[in-house]
Every structure is written in C-alpha cells, then in structure tokens.
Structure 1
Amino acid sequence: MSKFLSFEFWNTVARTILRNRILILILIFAATVFLASQWKNMRFSYTEANLLPDDDEINLQYQEFLDKFGEEGNLIVMAVNDPSLFTPEKFKAWNELAQELKSYPEVDFTVSIADLKKLEKFEDPGRFEMVPFIAEPDPDSIQVSEYQKELFDSLPFYEGLVYSKKSNTVQSAIYLKKDIVNTEIRRDFVVEELIPLIENFEEENDLNVYVSGMPYIRTLNSQNIIDEIGLFIGAALLVTSLIFFFFFRSFRATLISMFTVIIGVMWAFGVLGLLHYEITVLTAIIPPLIIVIGIPNCIFLINKYQQEIKKHGNQAKSLQRVITKVGNATLMTNLTTASGFATFILTESTLLKEFGIVASINIIAIFVLSLLIIPIIYSYMRVPKQKHLKHLNKRWIGGFVDWMERMVRHHRISIFIISILLLIASIIGIYTIRISGSLLEDMPKSAGFFKDIEFFEEEFDGVMPLEILIDTQREKGVMKLSTLKRMEELQQLLAEEEELSDPLSVVNLVKYSKQAYYNGNPKYYQLPTSQEQNFILPYAKDLGSDGTNILNTYVDSTGQYARMTTFMKDIGTEEMERIEEALWPKIKKIFPEERYQVEMTGKALIFQKGTNYLVKNLVISLSLAIFLIALLMAWMFKSWRMIVISLVPNLLPLLVTAGMMGYLGVPIKPSTILVFSIAFGISVDDTIHFLAKYRQELKANNWKIKRSVYAALRETGVSMFYTSIVLFFGFSVFMISSFGGTVALGGLVSATLLFAMLSNLLLLPALLLSLEKEIANKEVLKEPAIDIISEEDEFLEKRRKRKTKSK
C-alpha cells in the first residue's frame, strides 16, 4: 500500500489520466450508461424496516407466527365519527362503500355494518341460523335508528371491530389478501383504488372518513420517501452549488462540480439497482449524501488547480500537480469517510448492511469520478482568468484564520477549559437520552394520514398490532373450555394496560355465540359453562362459514394454535419494556410453561426490539470505526501519541452531539443512530489534512513546534473551512424532510461537523503546542508511510532544498 500511495505512483496516475483523456471519458460514459440501465431493478421497500438479524430469536418467533396465520399487517380500517351517518341515505352509502370494496380482487373480506351476522333462533323445526344484521336493502329512518341502537347496545362482540362507544364512531375493517400485502399490488390498490373511492364518498356524502391500518400507513409513508428523494437531490444540488459559487465566484467551476456529482448520483442509483437492493428510508438518503460528500472533493481539486495556475500559469503542470499532490490526500479522506459507513456492513442487520455497502462503494466512486473528470475537463478549457482566482485572497477568510491563530496563540487555557466544560455537560446530557422504538415517531406529523392515526389512537386505542401466539401443544386444544377461560383471563389482563386496546381472539367469537344462542341478549356475552359448551361451540364455527374467515383469523387449521391481537398506541421502547416486564410473570402463571407455549410478536414489537439491537451495536460499530481510523493514522504517522492526539478532537464533537440529544429530547432511534459513525468518518478528514501539513512544516522549520503549528493552521484552515461549510449546509438539507428521523439526522450531523471543524482548528493545535516536548522529536514523528498534503506549497519544497544545500 505504501507503494500504492507513493509520490511516484501518483505521478504515474497523473500521466496516465492526462494522456488517455478520451478513453477515460468513454469508459465513464459507458459505466454511466450501464449503471443507468440497472435503474429498472430498483424497487421501493413495501415492508417495515426489520433491523434484527434474520436468525434472531424474535425474528424466528415472528416467522413462526406468519407460518401459522400469514401476514398480520393486512388490516385497513376506515371510520366515520358523525351522527348524520345514521340517516337513510348516508347509512346506505356507507354500507355500499364496504360492499364495493369487498368486490376488489385485492380484498380478502370486510367486516362492516353491512357484513354483520346475527345468530337467530327459529321454530318449526327448531334451529339456529345466521341472518344478516341489515335485513332491508333500503331502511327508513326508524329502521336505521333501531340498527344504531342495537349495534351500540346489543352487540359487544363488534366493539373495537365495527364501532367505538367513546363517541359513537363507526368503522369498517378491510382485510387485504395476505399474499399482496408486501408487494407493489398493495400500493397500487391503496393509491389508485381505495383513496379515490373514499374521496369520492366524502364529497358525495359530506362526511369525513378517517383511514388507517398498517398497509395504508406504510403505503403513504413509502410514497413520502419516494417523493422526498427528488426533493433532497434537488435541494442538495441547489445548496451546494450556491455555496460553491459563493466561494469560487466561477460558473465554470460550479457547473463542472455539479456535473461530477450528478454522475455520482446516477451511479448511486445504478449500484442500488445492480445489487437489487430496496430503497428504504436509509438507502434513500445515499444519493443526496453523495452530493454533499462529493463537493468537498471538487473543492480540494479545483482550489489546488487555481493555486497552481496563480503561481506559474502552466496548465499542464498545474493539472499534473492537482492529481499528484491532492490525489493521495483526497483518497485517504474518502477512505476514512467510507470507513465510517462500512462499519455497518459488519452488523447482522440486513438493512444496515445494505446501507453500509452502497454508501461506502459510492463514496469511493465519487472520489474516482472527481479525480478523473475535473482534471480532464479543465484540460480542454482555457486557463482560468484572474477574476476566477480572486477568491484565493478573500479578506474575510484571512480574518477567520487570524482569529483562530490568536485563539491558539493566546487563549489555549480557555480552549481547554471550554472543552472540559463541554465534556462534562455532554456526559450529563448523555444520561438523559431515551431510546425510541416507535414505528410512528419518524412519520410526517403534518401528513393527513398521521392525523388519522391520532384519531384511531384516541377512539380505538392504537393502530399497531401486537400479536400473542398461544400453542396449546395438542390438536383442537384451542376450543377446549379450559383454554378459552385462560385466554379470557389473559384478555382481561391486557385490557388493563392503558397503552393497549381490548384484545380480539376466538374468545370473543365464542362469547358472541352464547349471546346469540340466548336470543341476542347482551348479558349472555360470556363464555359458555361446561354444560352449555357442547351445543354452543358449534355455532362459533358456523360464524365463519359464509366466507368471512372470522374463525380462521384467530385459530389455525389444526386447532392447536390461537392468535390474540391487540393494538398498541405509539409508545416508546422503554414503555413497551415496562409492559412486557409486568405481563410476562402473569402470562406464565395463566399459561403454565409445561402445558402451553406463549409468544409475543408482531411488527411493532419487532421494530422496538430492532432499535434495542441497534443501540447495542452502536458502541461496537463506532468503536470499530475508531479502531480502523486509528490503525490508518498509526500507519500514516508511525506514532501512537499522534493517534491519541488525533482522536481527542474528533471524539469530543461526538460526545457534545450525544449530550445535545439528551438536552433537546432527541431519542436514540434507527435514524439518529447513524449520526455518530457518519460524522466521525467525515470529521477525521480534517485531522488528517492538518497533521500531515503539520508534519511537513516541522521538517521544513527544523522541528520548531510553534512556527509549524501556525503555518499548518493557516495553510489548512481555509480548505477545512470551505469543506466544513459545504458539509454543514449540505447535511442541513435533510432538515427539510417531513420525517422526524431524517430531520434529526441532518441537524445532528451538521452540528457535529461544525463542532469537529472548530475542534480540529482550535483544540488540535492547542494540544500540539501544549505537548510539544512529547511529540516534537524525530523519534515520535518518524518518516510517515505517505505524505498527505492537501495544499502543498511549492515554495516549501524549494525552501527545504535550499536549507539542505546550505548545510
């Protein structure tokens, strides 16, 4: 690798690039066309993010549940909370809406007022039959009023399914076919069929319909992600181009940079398609991320080119030196950035692995594109005019560098005190950070579907299903009266939790059968006695004989497994853990482990457990990133002391950000957990640039610490400021998102990188000056494996040569 990054090697690279310009452009064009052809393989994720490893016990339990009952997130609910619904015209229209939905091939069955059945007793001969709840196709106002009274007063089985007593809300449950729930068919049905149908109903009947359910929420949420990809890319291009132009005052330089990163974005989409990865809430941020990370590459290359032109005006020589002297520096900084993302590859979570693979590949790809495209395009253009070089002498930049030098020269103690105070405050803030495993927390609060979620949480106590799988360990064990009584006890236990809705299971069905047997008297809505079970339980099975599959929804085909469904409010991980901790001892008491096996599962629980998994792996992945970068620094500088000094200014900003999260109430969750590895991988770039330049200055200044530190500060301060500002505003683009997690990610990374810039320009030089005896000797700073020089000055080289000759 040493040879790979040697000066001679980069000279060879430079000559190869400049002598084969046409061939390289053709190859870039061919690669871009090929990757663009892979866009057809891109697909958007139609499932919730599963952060757990595939072989995790929680995932295996969930898969077992799916094997028994199929996809659990197939319920869409629509509700009306309006007294005028119970007028003949609107009542009929509501029922017709449910019946029309039932006719769609994507719908398995519906449970609405129009679908309700009653068990009625008949004489001559004596028998029981299931009859429709709505007997007349066109009921008048009196009949509608009677239906309303009977529904709310006499049919407790349908409470939570068809109505809520809290404010007389009526709802219809639409069960999609399970095999289409995680496919594009679901999206097409929701977007193209269901939503227009409901909007038409609202307009014709002057009623507000609330819609929710996981398939509906997931569809609109993923649609928001799709819409925001274009928004992020456009905003990132706009912001970075404006900042770039502000710094360089050159349309030509700005357009070249934008052209380069746009090709990088095309490649990013192509890599996603080539690897057949889904576009998730994480991979969706990669294309704009490439823009934000690619622009600093362009800044270093173009800035160096313009500096060389200003020195000697020789274009060929300038382009040669751009590649030779900036290529290795830019490669190392891109490698450290890619390392921050690559640590996610080593996790066992498929979602994070895919994110890490695509991000790290494309960071290296944008480096290659920058190194090839910018010198080649400039080689075909005229030499920049004097007006294009004015930005190199901006007074305000000089003022900023002067301020930094004054702080390091005269206020080192203040810098250390402020750093220590920030560290202490951050540690206090870290202890207040909470963990959130909510599926809904990151969803756009201003979206119409989120307001509907809040309505259903209020009326029906939640929309996120929590499933309990009960294994009786014998066929037909579910319908045993002893098992049903245990299940009823568990349902009462769950109903006592405020965060959970009243559970639904076969118990409700059996209790309804007994009520129906006793002429629909609601006081008999209870489990049958041992004497009644033989002639009442068969009616429970008959309730599903009309194709509505109500019984099959809660009992598997063997009768050995029962399913109990409750719905959760939008609670966090800590609250869910409290509920689990309180429930499990009682569940095990109700269902002895030697006779029953009970498992708690469901998508909401999977997501919360996944968040806990991420938190545990955060320390591992971040430690790995620090270790990899420390190894890189050790290889570059051959000094463990330099490793320590280089890590301190980069770890402090991470701790400050973590403390800010605690103080601002931003929880640790899948989106914000990425902040630390991303920010560390990027911020360490500044350290590499500064220390490399510092070491070069030491050799040029006969190991005089102060002169070398101030020279390195002045030399690298401008480019570090430029790139940090671009990164700050570039990541701030994510704050325009409607997703809370993406907003937090953008804000936190921006803040971290700003802290990191100040830390590298103030704390790092202050440490070098304060520890000069320990690090300023040739034994500590041996000849490095490579010279990483971002802004190498030719004058410095000549000065070294003159000093060598004079000796």
Structure 2
Amino acid sequence: MSPQHKQRDWSLRYADWLIRHRWLVLTTTLILALLAASGARFLAFNNDYRVFFSNENPNLQAYEDLQKTYTKVDNILFAVEALDGDVFSHDVLEAVETLTAEAWMLPFALRVDSVTNFQHTYSEGDDLIVQDLVEGASTLTPRELSAARTVALNEPQLAGRMINPEASVTGINVTFQMPMKSIDEAPITVAAARALATEIEDKYNVRVYMTGMVMLSNAFFESAMQDMSTLVPLMYAVIVAVTYLLVRSVSATIAAVMVIIFSMLGGMGLAGFLGVQLTPPSSSATTIIMTLAVADSIHILVSMFAAMRRGLSKHDAIRESLQINIGPVFLTSITTAIGFLSMNFADAPPFHDLGNMTAMGVMLAFLLSVTLLPALMAILPAKANHGTTSIGRSMDKLSNFVVTRQRPILFATVAASVMLISMIPLNHLDDNFVDYFDESQAFRTDTDFINQHLTGVYQLHYSLDSQQANGVSDPEFLQKLQKFTDWLREQPEVRHVSTISDTFLRLNKNLHEDDASYYRLPEDSELAAQYLLLYELSLPYGLDLNNQLNVGKSTTQLVVTLNNAGSVQLKSIGERGTQWLHDNLGMEAYGVGPSIMFAYIADRNMQGMLVGTILALLIISLLIGISLRSVRLGALSLIPNLLPAGLAFGLWGGLVGEVNMAVSMVTGMALGIVVDDTVHFLSKYLRARREQGLNAEQAVRYAFSSVGVAIVVTSLILVFGFSVLAQSSFGMNSNMAILTAISIFMALVADFLLLPVLLIKLDRKYYPLQAPQRSNEFIDGQDSAAQEEKPYETQPV
C-alpha cells in the first residue's frame, strides 16, 4: 500500500469515527480549548521600551552600564508654549515655576530641571552666589524679566535645550527613577503628568506638550490597547462577512467563527501559561491568528459544500472533505508555524513572542479545523446552494488561459519578476522610533511639535574617562572634553550638547568677578577642583551633579541632543564621534542611549532573520518534498515560495524604500504563509496525476477546478486580514502587515500563473495509476461526478 493510500485510508477511518462520535468530539474539543484559553488571565502588558532589546544586545548592555554610573535618563519633557509668544512674561513664567514645583510630586520623580530652577551663578565680591534663575515670577520687574531672558538665551546649558531662540517655548525636564517592580509604573506616571499639564493649561495662558522616554513607553501600551479595541472587532466583521458570502450558510459561518475565536483565545492563553508578556508587536498576534485560522476552515468548508452540490449527503461530504484536505491543511499549518517560529532568530524579543504565539495559534487552528469544525457541521443543519459560482467559472477560464498561453505567461512573469527583483537594492535600512506612531497618538503629535519648536528628543550619551580620581578637574582632560564638545556642536545633526566643561567656563568667570575675559577653562587642577566643590556645596537637594559626574569624579557624561533623524544619521554621528575621539584625543568612548539602540536594532534583526529564514526555507522545502514524495516537485516549489517575498521587497523598494525593524521580520513569516497556496495546488495536481492518470496540462486544469476557489478566497481573506492590521496606529505593525499582504498577493499570482506553466514544462514524467485503496461509494461518486462536470479533464488538450 502506498503512503498516500495509507493516509487516505486513515483519514477516512478518522472521518467515520469523528462523525459517529461528533458530540464527544465537540464537547472534548470545547473543554480543551477553554482550558487553553484560561491562560489568558496570566497575560500582562510590558510597556517598557527596553523590551525590544535582548539581554545580549551590546547597545542595551552599554546603556545599562551608563545608567549605573549616572542618573537615570527615563524622563518626561514638558514643553510649555506661551500662547502670547513670550515665555518671559509674568503669567507664563509663573506657570513654569508652578509646573516645576508640582513636578517634584509626580510618582517616581527624581529630578526636575527648568529655566526657573536653573542654578544661575554670579559673584558678589568674593562670594559665589548660586540660586534659581527665576524666583517669585509674578513679582519680577520688567528689568528682572529681561535679565532672566538674557541669561537663558545665552547660557549653553539652556539655549537649544530648555528654551528656543524665540523664547516662545520652554521645557521642564523631569527625570524618573522607576523601581521596575510593576508593569503599570509608566501608565501611572503618565496619567499624573497629564493631569498636571491639564491643570496648568486651565490656570494659565499656555499650552503644554509632553515627550520623553516614559511617554514613549506609555505610547507603546496605548497603541496596543487602541489596536486591540478597534482592529479585532473589525477583523471579526470581515471574517464573518467573507465566510458567509462564500459558503452562504449560517451554520458553516458559525462553525468557522468558533474555530477562529478559540484558535485566537487558545493561542493567547497558551502564551499566558508560558509567561509571555504582551507588547505592541506581539499583541498583533490576535489579528494574525484570526486571519490565518480562517484559511483552514475555508478549505474544508469549500470542499464539503462542493461535494454536497454534487449530490453527496452532508456526512459523506464531510468525509470527502477531510480525506482530501487533512494532509494539505496539516502541511500548510506546520509550514506556517515554522515560518513564524523563524522569528525567534530576531534580536527583538517581542518578535519572538509574536512568532511563538502565532505558531501556537496556527496549530490550534489546524486541530480545531479537523475536530471542532467537522463535528459542528455534522450536528448543525447545512444546505448547499446549487450551481457553479462565478469564481468557479473564473477558475475554468483561468486554467484555459494558462494552458493555452504558456509561453507568453512564462516570458511575462519572468520579465516582471526580474524588473521587481532588480529594485530590491533601492531598499535601505532606516528606523525612527517616533515614526512608529501615527498622528492619532498624542505622543507623536507632541513630539513633532517639540522637535520643531524646542529641542530634539534623540540623544547620545558619551562617558569620558579621565583615568584618575577627581580627574574631571584636570585642565588637560577639560581641554580634551571642550575640544570634543566644540567638534560635536559643529556637526549638522547636533542640536545641543550638555557638558560639565560649560560649568567650569562659567565658574572660572564668576570667581574672577564675572570678568568675561576669564570665560575659559581653569589652568590649575587644584583651583578647578575647588571651583567644583564650592559649586556642589551650593546646589540644592535634587539638583546635584550626579547626572554629569560619577562618584569618584573620574568620568563625566556628555549628552548630545540631536535633530529628528533616522537610524542611518544616528549611526553616522555615533560612529563619527567615536572615531574622532580615537583619532584626535586618543580616547575610547561610544555613544549610547535608547535612540542609538533603536538605530541598530533593524540591522541586528535583519542579520538574525537571514539565518532564520534560510533555516525555515530548508525545513519547509524538506517537508514539502517528503509530503509530495517528489524531490523534483519539492525543489520546484521553492520558486513560487521564495519569489513572492522578493517581488514584495522589490515593489517596496520602488514605492517606499525604507526597511525598518518590523519590515525586516517579514521574510520568515511571509514564507510560512505563502507556501500554503503552493502546497494546496501541488497536492491537487499530484492527486490528478497519480490517481486519475491525467497528464500535466489536464492535472493543472483539475487543480484549478478543485482548489482554485479555495486558494483565491483564502488569499483574499489573508490580504483583507493583513490590510486590517495595516490600519494599526503602530507603525511597526502596519508596515509589517502591508508588506505581508503584498507578499500574499504576489504568491497568488505566482501560484496561478508561473507554477502551472512550470509544472507543464518540467513535469512530463509518467505517473503510474494508483487505484484508491478503499472502495467507497462517495469516492466513486466524487470521481464520476467530477468527470461529468469537467469532461475535459480526461480528454487530450
């Protein structure tokens, strides 16, 4: 007995058993599905931006080391816009002063910096005076307001960072020390900050905007919640509508929707049992699982109703559908799961979770499609509409077109493929974490305003080591620090540089009776150390120099604020800075921080996914070859499986050209999805060749007529599903969905045009007839009915 006959015989026995015990199967399946779904109670949302980086990520490790040395950089930057255009008016300065004072009360607040509490220094005789730049804003005279304006606009620590040149927008930067003990720390903090901003806006003539790393973390959470509340219901509506329009059966639609719901809930529940935490990328697994789960149900339902239209009873139609679909559906499910599991090779853990959750959901969808779905259909009333559908008639016309126009189709597809693939080099890796969010997100609009009117939100942090205790006061080290600062300020990407050398310049002038000629670095290390000590002793609690100096005063942190830039520019300035330090000062230091971490993540993901995709491709090809029992066809299947991703990236290069962290993940997951059409087409093609004795052209016609409708419908559902996900407010998800939808469409074209022509041209070997192993009336009925309905299938073409 051949392996295929064994499989068919087993599938028939399974179908008989399932129909006899349909109530037991239904009850058991529902109980197990509910048990799996119960794990969803353990799911929690991780909104920390660090979740995008693995513990082995060198950029994250460098960043964590920096934060152990200096003050944390998790912050909220309030930008206060004076609606009358003048920050240095009584009303606006009072608003800034009030907001500064109240910000100390925000949850987990560690430090608050603003123009009002900036520690302004000047001399009075032999004394160094250190005090807030603005005290009692409402009582200041016009002369005092003008003096404060002059200091703020000329102080390097403030200009370009805390006040814009027009003095119309000012900033209040709040640094937070998150205890990292609860997942709701960022939402709690942001809620309190927004309440404070609203209070200030209501009381004063100002508008308040907010950005910063805490706001970024919270934006991830809000984006995911928004998507889950809008996209999931929309996906349900699309699935219900498309399924009903296809099968025109309420019972079949109910059965398919139940499979989809329990696949999604079960996949999320199993993730909960495994301790997976939701993130914006992994939360999209709900929509993806729903999209993929419907495909299995459609193949089984389409075959069942087709058999019923030929006169088979409902139970016999279920048997036939399971017999011809259980193998291909299992193969497509396992290959899809492998494609998503390849995402574990990415550097970003959220994509590991997305891949694993989706893989579990896909395999649950397969199990439910061959248990819950047929059991429900065996119980519920179902009636097939008579007549051939317009899509079915279109399949006949398409098969005729492909068979009779082989040469033009081959030339056209090859030419189009070469043209699109040639555009792949137009793609370039670039990432911008602000652009992850669309303009429906407050974080995006506020950040854009602050970038345009106040300062940048991207920063590089350099830690420069003097190699000796109290070495930051050494004149030679200070000269090196100042040279690096001056070089940075000349770079086009740089907006502001915060450095301790500016403080030494100011102190040296102050302690020489504010003589402007002494606005230079001190030349004596002991004198410089005394300046620094005197200044530190005069600083109020909470505004010390821990954000710039380590405890031993051997290293200092230099913070570079950059213009809004993509990852290419960020990497460029970071690498240029490191190289300049090495070449000109003989020092080793690397720019670190969240912005540079996000800048490199796409590169690291692409490298990992290259390995993952190659491994997935080898495994999938091996499985197809074993399943088809044909090395030649297994190798031939590589063309329609690999080509769609290449065509999609080529089209993306021509239309968009920017590949970010999410887009770099598409190759593996798209490979797992697009292989489905190839497997179903080849399985029906080989069935016609081996069991009905048809030649290659006749077998192609048979494949179109028997599975073409299901392939079209499932492909359209997949495209619609990912098109729904493309509406996500989170750019990672939307870009990934768009490129995947393009890949699926390209796969449909390849499987309906290129694959049939390749089969006709390259698969002309003789296949000995393999008679069905088990005599069964509905099999004979199927074959005879198929021959009556498609007489050309046994006639020479």
Give the TM-score normalised by the residue count of structure 2: 0.91
1:629 to 2:620 alignment = yes
Write the deviation string for residues 109-157 of structure 1: whole angstroms up to 9, x where unpaired.
211233223334456xx53342333344641452553354343355333
Determine the structure 2 residue equivalent to 1:328: 327
1:613 matches 2:597: no
Match of 1:107 among 102, 106, 109: 109
- C-alpha separation between the residues in 2 aligned to 1:792 and 1:329? 18
> How far is the alpha carbon of 1:198 from its aligned partner?
0.9
Q: Does 1:470 align with 2:471?
A: no
Counterpart Cα distance in 1 of 2:350 and 2:261? 25
What is the deviation of 1:295? Answer: 0.9
**How far did 1:700 drift?**
3.9
Equivalent in the alignment of 1:582:
576
- Maintained 8 Å contact 1:32/1:263: yes
Which residue matches 2:792?
none
- Describe the superposition over 1:516-545 as per-residue Cα deviations: whole angstroms up to 9, x where unpaired: 3345566654422327525423234235x4
Q: What residue identity is the alignment partner of 1:490?
A: F
What are the superposed Cα offsets for residues 392-445 of structure 1, whole Å, 9 maximum, x if unpaired?
611x21342133123212211221121122222123211111111322222213
Q: What are the residue-to-residue correspondences of 1:108-257 with 2, within 5 Å? A: 108-122=110-124, 126-136=126-136, 138-142=138-142, 145-153=145-153, 155-179=155-179, 183-190=183-190, 192-257=191-256
Residues 1:542 and 2:543 are matched in the alignment:
no
Aligned pairs (5 A) from 1:462-611: 462-519=456-513, 524-530=518-524, 532-542=527-537, 545-592=539-586, 596-611=587-602
The amino acid across from 2:96 in the alignment is W
Contact 2:42 2:273 in 1 (8 A): yes
Match in the other structure for 1:98: 100
Q: Residues 168 and 491 (structure 1 numbering): CA distance in 2 closer, same or farther, change over 3 Å?
A: farther
The CA distance in 1 between the partners of 2:454 and 2:132, in whole Å, is 25
Alignment of 1:345-360 (within 5 A): 345-347=344-346, 349-360=348-359
CA distance in 2, matches of 1:149, 1:136: 15
Moved more, 55-64 or 364-373: 55-64
- C-alpha distance in 1, partners of 2:175/2:583? 34
Quick one: distance in 2 between partners of 1:173 and 1:526?
28
SS in 2 for 1:571: coil
Deviation larger for 477-486 or 532-541: 532-541
CA contact (8 A) 1:42 1:278 kept: yes
- Distance verdict in 2 for CA 1:664–1:476, change over 3 Å: same
What do the CA deviations read for 1:265-289 (whole angstroms, capped 9, x no partner)? 2223212322222212221111111
Q: CA deviation at 1:581?
A: 4.2
In structure 2, distance between residues paired with 1:5 and 1:233: 41
- 1:649 aligned to which of 637, 640, 652: 640
CA distance in 1, matches of 2:512, 2:769: 94
Paired residues of 1:485 and 1:527 also in contact (CA < 8 A): yes
Distance 2:219 2:451 in 1: 18
Q: 1:26 to 1:567 in 2, by over 3 A?
A: farther
Q: 1:87 to 1:310 in 2, by over 3 A?
A: same
Q: Which amino acid aligns with 2:102?
A: E
Query: In the alignment, residue 286 of structure 1 is paired with which amino acid?
Result: A
Aligned to 2:370: 371
Alignment identity in percent?
A: 18
Kindly provide the CA deviation profile for residues 321-358 of structure 1, in whole angstroms up to 9, marking residues without a partner as x. Answer: 43343222211111111111111224454333222222
The one-letter code matched in structure 2 to 1:643 is: G
- Check if 1:696 corresponds to 2:695: no
Residue 717 of structure 1: SS of its match in structure 2?
helix
- Which residue of structure 1 lines up, in the alignment, with residue 790 of structure 2? none
Aligned runs of 1:320-469 on 2, under 5 Å?
A: 320-347=319-346, 349-382=348-381, 384-385=382-383, 388-390=384-386, 393-394=388-389, 396-469=390-463
Q: Which deviates further from its counterpart, 227-236 or 508-517?
A: 508-517
5+ unaligned residues in a row in structure 2: which ranges?
788-797
Contact map agreement 2:307 2:782 (CA 8 A) in 1: no
Could you tell me which amino acid in structure 2 is paired with residue 635 of structure 1?
A: I
Q: Kindly state the Cα deviation for residue 635 of structure 1 after the two structures are TM-superposed.
A: 0.7
Q: Deviations over 1:149-197 (max 9, x none)?
A: 343355333224432225543211111224359842221121x211122
SS at structure 2 position matched to 1:702: coil
Q: How far is 1:458 from its partner?
A: 2.9
Per-residue deviation, 1:514 = 2.6
Q: CA deviation at 1:464?
A: 1.9
The one-letter amino acid paired with 1:405 is S
Structure 1 residues 580 and 91: alpha-carbon distance in aligned structure 2, compared to 1, 3 A threshold:
closer
Whole-Å separation in 1 of the counterparts to 2:622 and 2:770: 16
Q: More displaced, 656-665 or 618-627?
A: 618-627
Deviation at 1:704?
2.2
Partner residue of 1:763 out of 751, 754, 758: 754
**Is contact 2:399–2:700 with CA below 8 Å preserved after alignment?**
no
Asked if the contact 1:464–1:569 (Cα under 8 Å) also holds between the matched residues in 2, the reply is yes
Displacement after TM superposition at 1:678 (Å): 2.1
User: In the alignment, is the contact (CA less than 8 A) between 1:463 and 1:567 conserved in 2?
Assistant: yes
The Cα offsets for residues 256-309 of structure 1, whole Å up to 9 and x where unpaired, read as 212221122222321232222221222111111111111111111222222333
* CA offset digits 1:678-731 (Å, max 9, x no partner): 222112111111111111211344352222222222222111111111111111
Instruction: Tell me the distance in 1 between the aligned counterparts of 2:640 and 2:135.
Output: 76
> Displacement of 1:35 after TM fit?
4.0
User: What's the offset of the Cα at 1:630?
Assistant: 0.9
Which amino acid in 2 is paired with 1:536? Y
> What letter is aligned with 1:406?
N
Aligned to 1:286: 285
Q: 2:766 aligns with which of 740, 758, 777?
A: 777
Whole-angstrom CA distance in 2 between matches of 1:797 and 1:519: 107
Q: Quick one: structure 1 residues 520 and 122, their matched pair in 2 at CA, closer, same or farther if it must change by over 3 Å?
A: closer
Asked whether the equivalents of residues 120 and 128 of structure 1 are also in contact (C-alpha less than 8 Å), the reply is yes
State the superposition RMSD in angstroms: 3.0
Partners of 1:326 and 1:782 lie apart in 2 by 21
SS of residue paired to 2:570: helix
Alignment partners' CA distance in 2, 1:194 and 1:76: 10
Aligned length: 780
Contact 2:49-2:216 at 8 Å conserved across structures: no
Distance 2:715 2:118 in 1: 64
Gaps (5+ residues) in structure 1?
801-807
Q: Would the aligned equivalents of 2:247 and 2:305 in 1 still touch at CA under 8 Å?
A: no
Deviation at 1:21, TM superposition (A): 4.0
Check whether the contact 1:47–1:182 (CA below 8 A) recurs between aligned residues.
no
Distance 1:793 1:510 in 2: 94
The alignment status of 1:7 with 2:11, answered yes or no, reads: no
Q: What one-letter code is carried by the residue in structure 2 that aligns with 1:647?
A: L
- Choose 216-225 or 341-350, whichever is displaced more: 341-350
Q: What is the distance in 2 between the residues matched to 1:268 and 1:119?
A: 61
CA contact (8 A) 1:35 1:270 kept: yes
Q: Which runs of 4+ in 1 moved over 6 A?
A: 1-5, 781-784, 797-800
Aligned to 1:172, the other structure's residue is in SS state strand
| Residues 309-318 or 715-724, more deviating | 309-318
Assess, with a 3 A threshold, how the Cα gap between structure 1 residues 243 and 743 changes in structure 2: closer, same or farther. Answer: same
Q: After the TM superposition, which of the residue ranges 512-521 and 742-751 deviates more from structure 2?
A: 512-521
Whether contact under 8 Å (1:51, 1:611) holds in the other structure is no
**What CA deviation, in whole Å up to 9, does each residue of 1:632-686 have, x standing for no partner?**
1221223332123212122222221111111112421121123222222112111
SS in 2 for 1:586: helix
Q: CA-to-partner distance for each residue in 1:743-782, whole Å, 9 max, x for gaps?
A: 2222222222122112111211111112244xx234xx99
| Residues 270 and 792 (structure 1), Cα distance of their counterparts in 2 relative to 1, 3 Å cut | farther
Tell me which residue corresponds to 2:77.
76
How high is the TM-score relative to the length of structure 1? 0.90
